Amino acid sequence: MESSRFIILLLLITSFQAASSSLHTNTWAVLVCTSRFWFNYRHMANTLSLYRTVKRLGIPDNRIILMLADDMACNARNSYPAQVFNNENHQINLYGDNVEVDYRGYEVTVENFLRVLTGRHDSAVPRSKRLLSDEGSHILLYMTGHGGDQFLKFQDSEEIQSHDLADAIEQMREKKRFKELLVMVDTCQAATLYSQLYSPGVLAIGSSRKGQNSYSHHLDSEVGVSVVDRFTYFTLAFFENLDIYSNASLISLFQSYNPALLMSHADYREDLFSRPLHEVPVTHFFGSVMEIVHTDSMFDGFKGYEGSPKSCNVLRKGANCNRVAEQNIALHGNGLSSIQATEVSPTRPLESLLQELDDELAVHIGLAGLVAMVLLSSRLYAKK
């Protein structure tokens, strides 16, 4: 009898933990544009496009490290001052008011990039410029710029080698800075940059194989340069109709790249990754659920008693609930011709039970109820 009660208690606790872990609330992104100069406009647009995508899917700014090597928005040749676009209709300014750049200009160096990954900062570096991940984190590392066989150029003046990246990621693993890490590279001969990786739990994908170039997608005649690369363009197209609760897998993303459209062969490496790709949702790396409790008063605990605040409503929201999606990319012709605002209203599995409770309080109440039930049943059993 006692053993059966213990088993029931253990199963219920496990189910609470499983429900909590499935929300994947510990997702981080490091997004890096390594190129300077006006003719590399598309590399900044690549990075900002992915930045807006992961934000739309729920990763907050305090868990995104954004590194932009040049400020194309303020370049004197920009016909749209203080704006950056990735399409010809110019409906969405990628460089809007809600962009938080952590490293800009000459701050984007190989040294600072490696310090972000390994956490080896000077004491004066603020928390907003640090990757504060832990052993339970899923991290997306996106890099775009000019590269070659086993290197990626920074600022057109220095390079990071494939073994430098591999050693930095191994330091991250030894310091327990991630659980799983996805490396995504959009550059020429991208696959060679992650060829030296040897740390378990790491997955990598690149826009091209050794000996292949990566190409831009289309030219904006008003801006005067190419505004997005093909690999990033079709990555954005894949995420067009997804939200945080979509169940699209990583293998579906990897297999979505058409060599005829990319003009190169997208390459991915999974030998260091333990889970089957068809079982891993893309949102484990590109999205996050953040539980936010909105209250009208700090005395919310007294709600319902006489003299309590009249309107003290607790509302649970996920990262995308009632949020208007800022970027919904639709393929049309040669460009991302239309970006539509859509309201995302996902279904939540525990919403009906936890309508006005946050997860931690629900767990405490549930466990307290279980303990009371066990004690009561023990007394009844003792009387018999």
Q: Which residue in 24, 43, 138, 188 is the catalytic one? A: 188
**Helical ranges in 95-213 per DSSP H:** 110-118, 162-174
Q: What is the SS3 assignment for 361? A: helix
Phi-psi region of 156 (alpha: psi -120 to 50; beta: other; left: phi over 0): left
Residue 259 burial by Cβ neighbours in a 10 Å radius (0-12, 13-18, 19+): exposed
Containing H/E element for 183? strand 180-186
Give the other-Cβ count within 10 Å of 108's Cβ.
Answer: 23
Residues 120, 121, 127, 131, Cα dihedral to 10°: -30
Clarify whether 74 is annotated catalytic. Answer: no
Residues 165, 269, 41, 243, Cα dihedral to 10°: -120
Q: What residues does 78 pair with on adjacent strands?
A: none
Clarify whether 188 is annotated catalytic. Answer: yes
Q: Choose among 30, 95, 168: nearest CA to 160.
A: 168
**Helical ranges in the chain per DSSP H:** 2-21, 41-56, 110-118, 162-174, 230-238, 250-254, 259-262, 283-286, 359-383
Which tokens go with 53? 């995508």
Q: Which residue in 90, 121, 146, 321 is the catalytic one? A: 146
Only one residue has tokens 């907050």, namely 60
CA–centroid distance for 229 within its chain? 20
Show which residues are catalytic.
Answer: 146, 188
